Structures are given as structure tokens and as C-alpha cells.
Chain A
Amino acid sequence: EDQVTQSPEALRLQEGESSSLNCSYTVSGLRGLFWYRQDPGKGPEFLFTLYSAGEEKEKERLKATLTKKESFLHITAPKPEDSATYLCAVQARRGDYKLSFGAGTTVTVRA
């Protein structure tokens, strides 16, 4: 069974204080690893897809990286508007279409 573990559960940062979120996964053949952002009371918003170890993707202050066992979401010089819950999900190469989600990391950035 696919497993996704995100750490830490919560992260409090000062504005400008860079940090990283971790997503560790166990999957039988990775098709893709997905990062989403979720604001309170809203649905998850797609950020990135990573397909192979060594791949990196960036969007504004966010950068996602992937190894064979984990992914990191780096937040560089965060601003208060980066406060959200960040979700990680994996999809296996086998025939079903299911994404397995982690429980998320809630990031709070103080001005």
C-alpha cells in the first residue's frame, strides 16, 4: 500500500525566514509526485508535479525537489501570503488512478 508522510505537521516562520517541508513516500513504482496548496475553507490548489529523481520545479518563492524516497518543498524568503497547508500526494505506475495524500504541513508566516 502506498504511504505518504509529511513533516513537520506545523511550521511557524518569520517573514523572510526560509525553510523546507518534507514528504517521505513509499510506492511501488512512482508515476508522479504532486504538491498542492490548501487555504483554510478552500479546496487544494495544484502547484507542481515531479516525475523522476533529481527533478526540480519552481514557482515564485517555492521550489520542489524529488529523490527516490522523498520530496522537499523549499520556501525561500516567505511572506505572510505563503501561509497555508501544503499537501503532498503520490501516484503509482500500476493501473489505478488513485492519488495517495499525506496529512499536510500547515505553514504560518508572521510579518
Chain B
Amino acid sequence: NAGVTQTPKFRVLKTGQSMTLLCAQDMNHEYMYWYRQDPGMGLRLIHYSVGEGTTAKGEVPDGYNVSRLKKQNFLLGLESAAPSQTSVYFCASSLDRVVNEQFFGPGTRLTVL
């Protein structure tokens, strides 16, 4: 099992450009999450999904959109990137609400110039 994978690993964007980050999990988990991690701050939840076809806002959703068309995939989109979105993005998944140990991907380092 690959667990949770993320593509790409690194990306540099110019202000105003758009991009999509892809997360895939092969553990048949129901729940998936997108976090951002900034120096000196804890992981902050951007959006999450409790099942195929569902999405919900987390703590810092502005400027991001998500989609979960297939159970194993969770996409994070930036429509018009801003320098404030420079960060490391992590995807995670968990089996369900009762067993909420979250398993994380390796991260995507995004720089917006």
C-alpha cells in the first residue's frame, strides 16, 4: 500500500496563476483533509470531506476550492494564487469519525511569487 500520496511535491507560481493539488489514498478511507503548515504555527485545516461527493470548509478555506469526485481522490484548487498562500500543504485521510487517526501524505511545497 502506498498510503497517502500527493502530487506535485514542489511548485512555484506567479501571483494570479491557478493550480490543482492532487491527493490519493489507497486505504479505502472515508474522510480526507487538506491542511496547510506555516512556520511557528500548527497545521490548519483548509477543507475536508466525509465521503465521496461531499466537501466542507475548515478553519482557513478562503482562496481554496476542493472536490471529491472519487472516494480515493481529494483535489485542492487555487483559482488565483496569492503570496499569502505560500506554504506546505498536507493531505490526510482517516477511516471514519470514530477511528480518527489521520494518516498524512508527504506534502507539497508551494511558493507564490
Contacts and interface: CB of A to CB of B under 8 A. Distances in A.
B48 interface: yes
A36 B105 CA distance: 13
Interface residues of A, number: 23
Interface in A8-51: 31-32, 34, 36, 41-46, 49
Interface stretch (A56-64, A74-82, A99-107): A99-107
A32 B50 CA distance: 18
Contact of A104 (B42, B102, B106): B42
Q: Is the interface of B mostly helix, strand, loop or mixed?
A: loop
B64 interface: no
A98 B43 contact: no
Task: Say which size band chain B's interface belongs to.
Answer: 20 to 34
A97 B31 contact: yes
13 contacts: A4-B42, A34-B102, A36-B104, A41-B107, A44-B90, A49-B101, A87-B42, A87-B43, A97-B31, A99-B43, A99-B102, A103-B42, A104-B42
